[in-house]
Amino acid sequence: MAAAGAAVAVVDVDTAGAAAVVAEIEARGGSGIARAVDVSDGEAMRAAISETVGRFGRLDILDNNASAFDAWVADDIDVVSTPIEVWDRTMAINVRGPMLACKHAIPLMLATAGSGCILNISSTAGFLGDVIYVAYSASKAALQALTRSVATSHGKRGIRCNTIATGLIATEGARRNLSDAQFEAYEQSRLVVPVGTPEQVAELAVFLVSDAAGYITGQTFVVDGGAHAHQPWYTLRDVVHPQAVQPDGGTGALAPG
Ligand SMILES: NC(=O)c1ccc[n+]([C@@H]2O[C@H](COP(=O)([O-])OP(=O)(O)OC[C@H]3O[C@@H](n4cnc5c(N)ncnc54)[C@H](O)[C@@H]3O)[C@@H](O)[C@H]2O)c1
C-alpha cells in the first residue's frame, strides 16, 4: 500500500518489526509511523488510530492483518484438548482486534475522508473442518462474518469492507511454524505448485482498497492456489478416478505451475 502511495501506520506487538517496515517505506520515499500495540487492547487501538489521523490528517484504509499465528500452532488442537486460554487469546487477537479497529476507525474515516475501505485478512481455515486449529478456524470464520456485517451496516454511509481468505502463504510466520514436510504435504492439494507469496496477497489487497474496486463489498476472496477449488478427494485422484488424465501421466506428482 505504501508503494501505491499510501502513508501507512504499522501497528504490531513486534516493535522492531514494525519499525523495520516503516524504515523500508521511508527508504523508498514513502511515509509511515510504527506503533507497538496489542490489537486486543481497546484503549491502545483507539489511541493508535487517533494518532494516525492526527499525523496524516485523514484515514482512508484499515487492514486488519495481525493474527495469533504463533500462539495457536502448538496448543490449538480440537475442542476437547485446546486450553481455554488458547481459545480466548486467539479470539482476542483475531476477532476482538479487528472489531476494535473497525469500531474506532469507521467514525474517523467518515469524519476525515467521507468514506473508507476495510480489509480483513482471514483464512481458508474458516471454511472447512479439520482435526486441529479449532480456535483459529472459528476465529477466521467469525472474521468473515464481521466483514459482511460491517459492509452491510456501514455500506450506505461509504464504508466498503472485504476479506481475503488466504491458503498457505510463505510468510515469516508460516516458515517459522511449519516444517518442510508440512509445506510439501499442503502442496498436494494446490492447483498452482509454487507456494503463494505475501506479494501475491498484497496485489489483491491494494486492488480491493482502491477506487478500481469501488463496486465490491462484503465479499470473501480466496488466494490459495486453488486448494479449495476442487473436491476433497482430488489428492486421491489416481485411486478414485483412475480414468482421469493425471497431471504427470499417473505418478501422482503435480505438473509445474
Ligand atoms: N501465512 C499463511 O500461510 C496464512 C494462511 C492463512 C491465513 N493467514 C493470515 O494472514 C495474516 C498474516 O499472517 P502471516 O503469515 O503474515 O503471519 P505472521 O506471524 O508472519 O505475522 C503476524 C503478525 O501479527 C503480529 N501480531 C500477533 N499478535 C498480535 C497482537 N496481539 N497485536 C498486534 N500484532 C500482533 C505479529 O507480531 C506478526 O507481525 C494473518 O491474519 C493470518 O491468519 C496466513
pLDDT in tens, 16-48: 999 999 999 999 999 999 999 999 999 999 999
Q: How far is the CA of 12 from the centre of ligand 1 (A)?
A: 10
Residue of 76, 123, 67, 58 lying closest to 98 (CA atoms): 67
Which of ligand 1's atoms lies nearest the C-alpha of 177?
Answer: 19
Tell me how far apart the alpha carbons of residues 62 and 81 are, in angstroms, rounded to a whole number. Answer: 35
Higher pLDDT, 177 or 145: 145
**Which residue minimizes the CA distance to atom 7 of ligand 1?**
123
Annotated catalytic residue 136: yes
pLDDT in tens, 43-82: 999 999 999 999 999 999 999 999 987 766 789 999 999 9
* Residue 223, C-alpha cell as written in the block: 488466494
CB under 6 Å to ligand 1: residues?
12-14, 17, 37-40, 65-69, 93, 121, 123, 166, 168-169, 171-174
Residue whose C-alpha cell reads 483459529 in the numeric block: 136
- Domain ranges (residues) in the chain: 59-238
Q: What is the CATH number of domain 59-238?
A: 3.40.50.720
What's the whole-number mean pLDDT along residues 159-172?
97
What's the whole-number mean pLDDT along residues 93-117?
98
Q: How far is the CA of 65 from the centre of ligand 1 (A)?
A: 6
Q: Which amino acid is at 166?
A: T
pLDDT band of residue 254 (cuts 50, 70, 90) is low
